[in-house]
Amino acid sequence: MQLADTCVIRLPAWLGEWLGKQERDYGDERDCMSMVVELSAENVRRQSGGPFAAAVIDSKNDRLISVGVNLVSESGLSMAHAEMVALSLAQNALGDWNLGRFGGMQLYTSCEPCAMCFGAVPWSGVTSLKCAASKADAEAAGFDEGEKPADWKQALQARGIDVVTSLLREEATEVFRLYRASGGLIYNPGPDPED
């Protein structure tokens, strides 16, 4: 049996050029979230992944560290959620698994984290989490977000992570509608219902 020894996740080729055209104030939370929501919509329009995006912002220097888009179906990897991609790329860019060593790292997400991404937030070292759409919004679109504590916001706040929810929620929820209308794949764990 041959075991895999590498796993590579690549952002879509269009993303670098798209980011280059953005003029954003990374010190303004609404502008940062607007960029993340627009990125999720662009990922849908380009048919390069699911309707989710995320970014890691250095709030001390008002600069973008990394972005991520949902690449689950394109990569064949269940862990390729936007938050996981953005956090991994930020850690790679800064050369450290603990973003807390840099202080002021914020995670912006187009939707509140699923069960997997919720677990990654405190371990990543970010100091704040800012979300647009809710778990209920994603589940209404057909996605399985998994189980997390009912008091998930308080759990993160108890670890010193500031949490903001519903920031541009309606705009992010509209991306789910766009994805459904375009026939985007709604992937969920378990056996394929067509098997």
Clarify whether 83 is annotated catalytic.
yes
List 29, 38, 83, 145, catalytic entry: 83
The Cα 138–Cα 113 span in angstroms is: 10
The 3-state DSSP class for residue 54 equals strand
Contact at 8 Å (CB) between 52 and 117?
no
Backbone angles phi, psi at 2, to 5 degrees: -95, 120
Pair 166, 134: CB distance under 8 Å: yes
Residue 183, phi-psi category: left (phi > 0), alpha (psi -120 to 50), beta (remainder): left
Q: Could you list the active site residues? A: 83
